[in-house]
Structure 1
């Protein structure tokens, strides 16, 4: 009887680990223009990101005597929507994402607005093509530079600024 209870407990734990792994697992990789991308399935979305990451310096704890959390609230992003025009440039929107779906672009930039890292999220029902995300990634990385403003240009003293921008396909 004790062995049966032990076996049931082990099987339960194995099933639990299996289910948790399925909600956060790599479902594939693809390459576009010598850049490798990884697609990870999460509970309600897919995350598409480059495999290689840039070494990004951490931010200072304070800027001009103000805590970093306060400085982050003062930073205004004046140019994060230009990437949406690149989605429209693609000849067939359905290659990127189905109508009624969305793309979220996650940026990590330095204080000068240069993009250091870029990744995408889409809904789980999205029927995306990997090459379209590769093309979108290249266009954003090559053509986009973001504009930030803050009191006394505090943002220029930061090593990384994180933000996301959503595009609903209609």
Structure 2
């Protein structure tokens, strides 16, 4: 989205100096192509996640999980975050872009706040320790978990 805004701003500045059409046309084609690719990729991710839902299951919320290593920077503006925790009426799903890493029903989970981190336990083993965004997401996950039967 930021890239599109920057391209639109640059195009507006170029329009002020009235360059010939053959200067603007390649830039417009490039911006349209990149925007279309990004939209298609995000649409495929959404479709994959929608297919993962069981009949009657509803997605409640999706939270960004900070990457486990500090060398990961924020994703480019045309990509979704690398890791996301998705809550549904049935349970919890961990996604790496369009790939589901794991999914567990609420009654089999125990979710605990550990300061700013969320600890998720499944069948007595730790399934994950996550630092969620935005701020306050851990408390929201705990509330939703309690509502749907997590320990």
TM above 0.5:
no
Which is helix-richer, 1 or 2? 2
Which structure's relative contact order is higher, taking Cα pairs within 8 Å and 6+ residues apart? 1
| TM-score, L = length of structure 2 | 0.31
| TM-score, L = length of structure 1 | 0.28
